[in-house]
């Protein structure tokens, strides 16, 4: 089968190439999924650059997928499934950027019939990461929620999840039609006027910018919670805040990392979102907003995404 492959010798940065590997056989308790579509996430690109110290090599990358079960227990055979990975697929077992992938039975979910394979392969990491932030922020229906990086994949999923909890949601991004334009208002001053001076109860920061996080702490209301999912990719990752202000106003700073989840935990998180995709209360990206690539061109796509930063969602389609 065709598969992307990361190789690394004696601790050097890994090298990504298109390889031909034997089709794997699923051990008991697992299924073999014929991959129909597999999303490329920022964490895949970081992994291909050697950014995760726990990745073992050689390794097929890829955390998200949608496909059909072609081997394994009879109850699963022929089923259309989709899924995502926490800390397993693409790090310590082979991932989804291949024609076939072995997944343990407790790591799969039935694909929502409302989503195409390409759409279903685009939602795993973004929506489960967004669900993680919403859960860890302990969001209530009365909360005002500010999403930093709202036009990104995780940010836009978080907007949907917070709105579905009946929260008032403010979207912040560098450009586009948003409530807070981060290019012209990096201090988030707009938030005060948009909330009648009260500030927001929750900030979900998907950007990892210390300057934005400092501004976000300031515009948090009493007992506000700031959750975040990344740190600066280069330079210092130090963050400084005023201890006195944070405790007097009972604020919280909360780290979120979807890469800590086991495969069953990630499947459970995604399974919790499946009814939303089915009934339309959660919207996957439209096909027209997803760019597809053949696996033969995927090495170039990895290279491009690494250089361009936030580009259109790209899914490998078979």
Select the residue interacting with a copy of itself from 13, 163, 198, 248 (CB under 8 A). 248
Q: Which lies closer to a copy of itself via its Cβ, residue 175 or residue 198?
A: 198
Q: Is 296 in the site for a copy of itself (CB under 8 A)?
A: no
**Spatial separation of the C-alpha atoms in residues 94 and 270, rounded to whole Å:** 20
From CA 187, how far away is CA 219, in angstroms rounded?
A: 9
Binding mask 125-164 for a copy of itself (x = CB under 8 A): -----------x----------------------------
* Rg (the chain; Cα; Å): 20
Cβ atoms of 159 and 152 closer than 8 Å? no
SS3 60: coil
Cβ pair 255, 276 in contact under 8 A: no
Which of 3, 191, 229, 273 touches a copy of itself (CB under 8 A)? 229
Stretch that binds a copy of itself, among 34-42, 76-84, 144-152, 243-251 (CB under 8 A): 243-251
Q: Which of 5, 144, 171, 251 binds a copy of itself (CB under 8 A)?
A: 251
Give the HSE-up count for residue 215: Cα atoms under 13 Å, Cβ half-sphere. Answer: 20
Instruction: Rule CB under 8 A: say whether 189 interacts with a copy of itself.
Output: no
- Pick one of 13, 25, 242, 275: the residue that binds a copy of itself (CB under 8 A): 242
User: What are the DSSP E strand ranges found in 41-179?
Assistant: 65-71, 80-83, 100-104, 109-110, 144-148, 168-173
For residue 21, the minimal CB distance to a copy of itself (Å) is 30
Q: Is 249 in the site for a copy of itself (CB under 8 A)?
A: yes
Q: Which residues of 76-85 are buried (b: 16+ CB within 10 A; e: fewer)?
A: beebbbbbbb
* Distances in whole angstroms, Cα of residue 217 to Cα of each of 99, 127, 205, 288: 45, 24, 11, 37
In the set 106, 250, 279, 287, which binds a copy of itself (CB under 8 A)? 250
Q: How far is the CB of 132 from a copy of itself (least distance, A)?
A: 9
256 near a copy of itself (CB under 8 A): yes
State whether residue 178 is helix, strand or coil: coil
Least distance in angstroms from the C-beta of 269 to a copy of itself: 14
Q: Is 259 in the site for a copy of itself (CB under 8 A)?
A: yes
Cα 232 to Cα 213: distance, rounded to the nearest angstrom: 11
Residue in 252, 262, 278, 283 binding a copy of itself, rule: CB under 8 A = 252
Q: Is residue 40 close enough to count as binding a copy of itself by CB under 8 A?
A: no
Show the binding pattern over residues 46-65: x = contacts a copy of itself (CB under 8 A), - = does not.
--------------------
Q: CA-to-CA distance for 313 and 288, rounded, in angstroms?
A: 10
Q: For residue 86, give the nearest of 275, 253, 270, 314 by alpha carbon.
A: 270
Q: Is 240 in the site for a copy of itself (CB under 8 A)?
A: yes
Could you say whether residue 12 binds a copy of itself (CB under 8 A)? Answer: no
Token look-up 């650059």 returns 49
Among all chains, which residue has been given the structure tokens 């996430």?
A: 41
Tell me if 318 contacts a copy of itself by CB under 8 A.
no
Shortest distance, CB of residue 256 to a copy of itself, whole angstroms? 6
Stretch of 34-42, 102-110, 189-197, 222-230 contacting a copy of itself, by CB under 8 A = 222-230
**Binding-site ranges for a copy of itself (CB under 8 A):** 136, 208, 210, 213, 222-223, 228-232, 237-257, 259-260
């Amino acid at each position: 089968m065709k598969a992307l492959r990361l190789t690394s010798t004696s601790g050097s940065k890994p090298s990504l190439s298109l390889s031909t590997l034997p089709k794997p056989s699923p051990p008991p308790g697992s299924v073999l999924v014929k991959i129909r579509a597999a999303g490329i996430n920022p964490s895949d690109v970081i992994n291909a650059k050697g950014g995760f110290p726990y990745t073992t090599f050689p390794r097929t990358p890829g955390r998200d997928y949608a496909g059909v079960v072609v081997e394994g227990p009879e109850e699963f055979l022929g089923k259309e499934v989709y899924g995502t990975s926490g800390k397993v697929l693409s790090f310590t077992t082979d991932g989804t950027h291949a024609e076939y992938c072995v997944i343990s039975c407790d790591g799969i979910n039935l694909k929502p019939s409302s989503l195409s394979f390409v759409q279903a392969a685009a939602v795993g990491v973004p929506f489960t990461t967004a669900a993680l932030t919403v859960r860890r922020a302990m969001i209530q229906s009365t909360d005002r929620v500010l999403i930093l990086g709202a036009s990104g994949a995780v940010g836009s999923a978080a907007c949907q999840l917070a709105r579905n909890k009946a929260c008032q949601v403010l979207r912040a991004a560098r450009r586009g039609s948003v409530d807070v334009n981060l290019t012209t208002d990096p201090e988030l001053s707009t938030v005060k006027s948009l909330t009648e001076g009260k500030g927001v109860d929750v900030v979900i920061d998907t950007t990892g910018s210390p300057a934005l996080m400092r501004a976000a702490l300031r515009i948090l209301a009493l007992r506000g919670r700031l959750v975040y999912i990344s740190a600066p990719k280069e330079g210092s990752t130090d963050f400084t805040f005023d201890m006195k202000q944070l405790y007097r106003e009972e604020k919280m700073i909360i780290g979120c990392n979807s890469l800590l989840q086991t495969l069953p935990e990630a499947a459970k998180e995604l399974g919790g979102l499946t009814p939303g995709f089915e009934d339309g209360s959660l919207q996957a990206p439209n096909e027209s907003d997803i760019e597809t690539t053949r696996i033969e061109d995927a090495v170039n796509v990895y290279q491009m995404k690494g250089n361009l930063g936030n580009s259109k969602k790209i899914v490998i389609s078979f």
